[in-house]
């Protein structure tokens, strides 16, 4: 049974998706753009996409090995078609609509409406941008084989560095460090470094809570959350 703690991960559900916020909806985009400036006063500045470097931020230590293409394509497939990914759809298959809706309220209370809205917009863009870059680079994805809690646990594991979850480490494992950094640069240019940092901050918390809900209680929460 999925515990309430999992609600925080489901945040990502809303974040990526078409489920709660329509991709490209003018009102959402406007909110994200207006909120980016106000968030800059709240986010710690730093040279690494608005964050402190390394383990002090949301990226951890760069992983430069081969990507886990099965996990990557399994996640994308669960979330819909390339270019229109919805983590809401992907996570609803794992935890259900009720948990997804509950997480929206939980995250809003924890981080505030502006941060959650920005997280939605930036995460949607990040996934679509990463898929586009991987495709352009000639990445050949295998047939997806992972589903449900098996996929959820794999995604958490891919983000671990010495037992702590970092969003950047997971992205390195899913799409390579090179593509990850290229996507982050695009985010910085389009939405601002503060919004990039906010995305990592919320994602670190969300995946930590997912791990706890899945019974992987050894996972630690990153300082940047």
Residue 80 has pLDDT above 70, yes or no: yes
Sort 40 into a burial class: Cβ within 10 Å, 0-12 / 13-18 / 19+.
middle
Residue 40 has pLDDT above 60, yes or no: no
Nearest of 133, 117, 38 to residue 83 by alpha carbon: 133
Give first-to-last CA distance, the chain, whole Å: 26
Q: Residues with Cβ < 8 Å from 147, sequence gap 6 or more?
A: 74, 78, 93
Q: What is the DSSP letter of 10?
A: H
Give helix 177-191 / helix 167-175 axis angle, nearest 10°: 120
Mean pLDDT of the chain, nearest integer: 78
Read off the pLDDT of residues 85-141 as tens digits, 9 standing for 90 and up: 777 777 777 666 776 677 777 778 989 999 978 887 888 788 889 989 999 999 989
Alpha-carbon gap, residue 43 to 161, rounded angstroms:
23
In this structure, how many other beta carbons lie within 10 angstroms of the beta carbon of residue 162?
9
- Residues 179-187 have a mean pLDDT of 95
């Amino acid at each position: 049974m999925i515990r309430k703690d999992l609600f925080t991960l489901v945040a990502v559900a809303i974040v990526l998706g078409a489920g709660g916020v329509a991709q490209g909806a003018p009102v959402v985009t406007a909110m994200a753009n207006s909120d980016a400036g106000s968030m800059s006063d709240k986010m710690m500045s730093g040279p690494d996409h608005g964050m402190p470097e390394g383990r002090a931020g949301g990226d951890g230590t760069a992983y430069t090995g081969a990507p886990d293409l099965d996990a990557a394509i399994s996640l994308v497939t669960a979330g819909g078609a390339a270019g229109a990914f919805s983590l809401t759809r992907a996570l609803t298959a794992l935890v259900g609509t009720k948990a997804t809706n509950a997480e929206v309220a939980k995250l809003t209370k924890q981080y505030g409406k502006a941060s959650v809205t920005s997280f939605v917009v930036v995460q949607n863009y990040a996934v679509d941008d990463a898929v586009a870059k991987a495709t352009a680079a000639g990445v050949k994805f295998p047939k997806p084989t992972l589903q449900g809690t098996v996929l959820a646990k794999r995604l958490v594991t891919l983000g671990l560095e010495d037992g702590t979850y970092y969003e950047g480490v997971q992205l390195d494992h899913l799409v390579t460090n090179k593509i990850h950094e290229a996507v982050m640069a695009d985010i910085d240019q389009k939405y601002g470094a503060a919004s990039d940092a906010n995305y990592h901050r919320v994602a670190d918390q969300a995946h930590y809570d997912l791990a706890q809900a899945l019974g992987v209680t050894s996972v630690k929460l990153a300082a940047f959350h």
